[in-house]
Structure 1
Amino acid sequence: MAGHGAPEQRPIDCHDLRVAVVAASWHVEVMDGLLDGARRALKDYRVEEPRVIRVPGTFELAVAADALARQGYDAVVALGVVIRGGTPHFEYVCSAATDGLNRVALDHQVAVGFGVLTCDTEEQALDRAGLDSSREDKGYEAAAAALVTAMALKKIRRGYDD
């Protein structure tokens, strides 16, 4: 399981960022945990009035993230979950979501928080969903990563170094 080696990071002030969250709807308990975690991060990082959009599944995250990036959001947090089954569906959806969200980030030069869980079992997903019984909070981590990256991109555009 991941989680080892994560950087210790304190929330920074991101109140001036326009942030959107796009979240899939499948696997309600996992998705509710991921979305709650992202909202906690946005609050900790002082993001005011983030926009939250729900889509049917993880496959649809990229097109919604692309539309949000086109609207000038500084960061888009993408949340979803794909649980392996007995067909190649898992590989196709995971690959499409990863490639699509990467394309959004590169095409629009916008920070995209990758909060897509790709798990073998529902138990693994629940353990990463940021619930009271979870060991990890991937919704929080994805939102925090997007915010820190958005601030870094602002510095780059302004010609500032750390």
Structure 2
Amino acid sequence: MSGHGAPSLSVDADGARVVVVASSWHDQVMDGLLAGTHAALSDAGVTDVEVVRAPGSFELPIIAQAAARSGADAVVALGVIIRGGTPHFEYVSAAATDGLARVALDTGVPVGFGLLTCDTEEQALDRAGLPGSAEDKGREAAEAALVTWRALDGLESSKKSGRTGF
């Protein structure tokens, strides 16, 4: 299972503004991803949450970029792409993945990666955080975004205070 060895992440993110950008395809999978994301944000004390729906996974990066530029402290990108019989899967998966990484690097705003790229619908359901699922990628993406936000905030505080070294 791909989740084997995953870290246990928790963070106090009270006061953070988080935008969740979620694809509109595969309702059952997306419902699970969104529920896991909301649970993680709630557990971290985040109350300023906006959810923006994208038509599909290909559109996640442009909306994530707008969210980052609008003052979000972190963005959580959620989507699912299931392999079909054409190269479409590879093109959309690569474009969405590369685009989300670019948003984070270009804006300096953490982007939690909750984009499932699966061979089958069963694999997606097993990662969606639904009852009986083996993994909760929505929760994991939210936790990763928040922990990264705190790490970046800590680095900025160190820079301002003049702290260096170990």
TM range (shorter): over 0.9
Name the TM-score, length of structure 2 as normaliser.
0.94
Which residue of structure 2 lines up, in the alignment, with residue 53 of structure 1?
52
Structure 1 residue 122: Cα displacement: 0.1
Structure 1 residue 72: Cα displacement: 1.3
Deviations 1:28-47 (A, max 9, x none): 00001000100000000000
Which residue of structure 1 lines up, in the alignment, with residue 5 of structure 2?
5
Gaps of 5+ in 1: none
Equivalent pairs, count = 161
Mapped to 1, the partners of 2:92 and 2:130 lie a distance apart of 24
Structure 1 residue 17: Cα displacement: 1.1
Structure 1 residue 119: Cα displacement: 0.2
User: 4+ residue stretches of structure 1 with deviation over 4 A?
Assistant: none
Give 2:43's aligned amino acid.
D
Q: Does 1:65 align with 2:58?
A: no
Structure 1 residue 8: Cα displacement: 2.2
Which residue of structure 2 lines up, in the alignment, with residue 154 of structure 1?
153
Mapped to 2, the partners of 1:12 and 1:107 lie a distance apart of 24
RMSD: 1.3
Deviations 1:99-153 (A, max 9, x none): 1000000000011000000000000000000000201000000000000000101
Mapped to 1, the partners of 2:96 and 2:149 lie a distance apart of 20
Structure having the higher Rg? 2
Which residue of structure 1 lines up, in the alignment, with residue 36 of structure 2?
37
Mapped to 1, the partners of 2:19 and 2:150 lie a distance apart of 15
Contact kept, 8 Å, 2:16 with 2:48, in 1: the verdict is no
Which residue of structure 2 lines up, in the alignment, with residue 116 of structure 1?
115
Name the TM-score, length of structure 1 as normaliser.
0.96
Which residue of structure 2 lines up, in the alignment, with residue 83 of structure 1?
82
Secondary structure, aligned partner of 1:14: coil
Identical residues among aligned pairs (%) = 64
Give 2:42's aligned amino acid.
K
Mapped to 2, the partners of 1:96 and 1:137 lie a distance apart of 23
Secondary structure, aligned partner of 1:101: helix
Secondary structure, aligned partner of 1:46: coil
Mapped to 2, the partners of 1:76 and 1:124 lie a distance apart of 24
